[in-house]
Amino acid sequence: MKPLQVGLIGFGTVGKGTWDVLRRNESEIARRAGRPIRIAWIGTRTPERARAAVDGAPGVQLTHDAFVVARQPDVDIVCELIGGIEPARSLVLDAIAHGKHVVTANKALLAHHGNEIFAAAHARGVMVAFEAAVAGGVPIIKALREGLTANRIEWIAGIINGTSNFILSRMRETGASFDTVLQEAQARGYAEADPTFDVEGIDAAHKLAIMSAIAFGVPMQFDKAYAEGITKLTREDLRHAEELGYRIKLLGITRRAAKGIELRVHPTLIPTKRLIANVEGAMNAVLVKGDAVGSTLYYGAGAGAEPTASAVIADLVDVTRMHTSDPEHRVPHLAFQPDQLTDLPFLPMGDVETSYYLRMRVDDRPGVLADITRILADREISIDAMIQKEPSEGEDQTDIILLTHKSVERQVDDAIARIEALATVRGKVVRIRLEDLS
């Protein structure tokens, strides 16, 4: 049968990985897809590198100009692997306008412009597949969109940034500071020279916004996401959390709450006994709670050449299988039929309810704890556990650590401001959210 022709845009780590895996597993992939899948065009800024990699493979054309690939008459699927917003957005829209199906690994593009892209694809009757955009090789989009389709999804909690997870794991294992471990992560190639997107929770928020839309049948709304990264976490707090039976992870959480959807990325204490708390290093894991199935956990490599290629090629196979089908009978881009998306509101952070770890440095004298607990009680914040550290030799200050029951974030913010204003409390209160995930 005639091969399906792919135009690859971008020949970096993932592009090269896609080439390698497609070649290596060519016949097995063709047996699954029902016809061969062939890379016919490669658009790249470094054609020399691509030329060396394709090593004279017959019929592969190389170009500097990615728009040539997006518009090529003999290309059926455009595979966008360059990342970033522009020119990726223009290329994807151009490919759609030329009747091409699109496979993309670009979470930033989808988080910001997914609604526009899906609308264009729907109008043109083409598919846009994006398994590789979330959690690399872990087939979480497939699971959410198809495997769990019977369920009312209640919440998703994911470790979806490998760089941050690597840094937190190393900080905990070695007792080193964030800055020291970040340097190590950069030296080992886990963290970019500019790690802002990874360590400030933005990359995770992109991925979470995509999962949230699929889980709850709402348009993509990255602008509603709250993102707080790991840069301010100290080794002391990681250690205190361990002593209390918790591990701190950068978690992306989206939940269907009574008044709307929560969409938030932040460092989170998780009970150490949960499987997801034990996901270490650069690995990803996503925990999904459905009303029928209960909790399901998806784990694997969230980045890297061949794990990401695994997801890209899964999409190529899906598109190949569905390519001749009636567009109305394909799996909808966001799992729900496009005219069935709802306008459930996203909750501002102040309305979110969760538990909290609060650490404060206080003068070690009578009445201090009573003042603090009164402030909490006045705001309906109930204490679940408390430890007071022994003051160091000759010191008259100590650390108090409180874990709260579920409380409203706005009340907790207010309580923290009051506590920090007490004359007996020194410096800022450290606040880290806590999720039981049961």
Q: Residues with catalytic annotation?
A: 207
The span from the CA of 130 to the CA of 175, in Å, is: 38
Q: C-beta of 104: minimal distance to ligand HSE in Å?
A: 12
Q: Which is nearer to ligand HSE, 311 or 352 (CB)?
A: 311
Q: Which is nearer to ligand HSE, 283 or 381 (CB)?
A: 283
Q: C-beta of 303: minimal distance to ligand HSE in Å?
A: 4
Amino acid, res. 103: V
Q: Which is nearer to ligand HSE, 120 or 160 (CB)?
A: 160
CB 287 within 8 A of CB 268: no
Name residues whose C-beta falls within 8 Å of residue 290's C-beta, 6 or more positions apart in sequence. Answer: 148, 150, 151, 152, 153, 154, 296
Q: C-beta of 88: minimal distance to ligand HSE in Å?
A: 14
Structure tokens, 347:
């909750």
Q: Are strands 294-301 and 260-271 parallel, antiparallel or unpaired?
A: unpaired
Q: Which is nearer to ligand HSE, 233 or 403 (CB)?
A: 233
Q: C-beta of 90: minimal distance to ligand HSE in Å?
A: 22
Binding site for ligand HSE (CB under 6 A): 161-163, 198, 203, 302-303
Q: Which is nearer to ligand HSE, 163 or 407 (CB)?
A: 163
Q: C-beta of 213: minimal distance to ligand HSE in Å?
A: 17
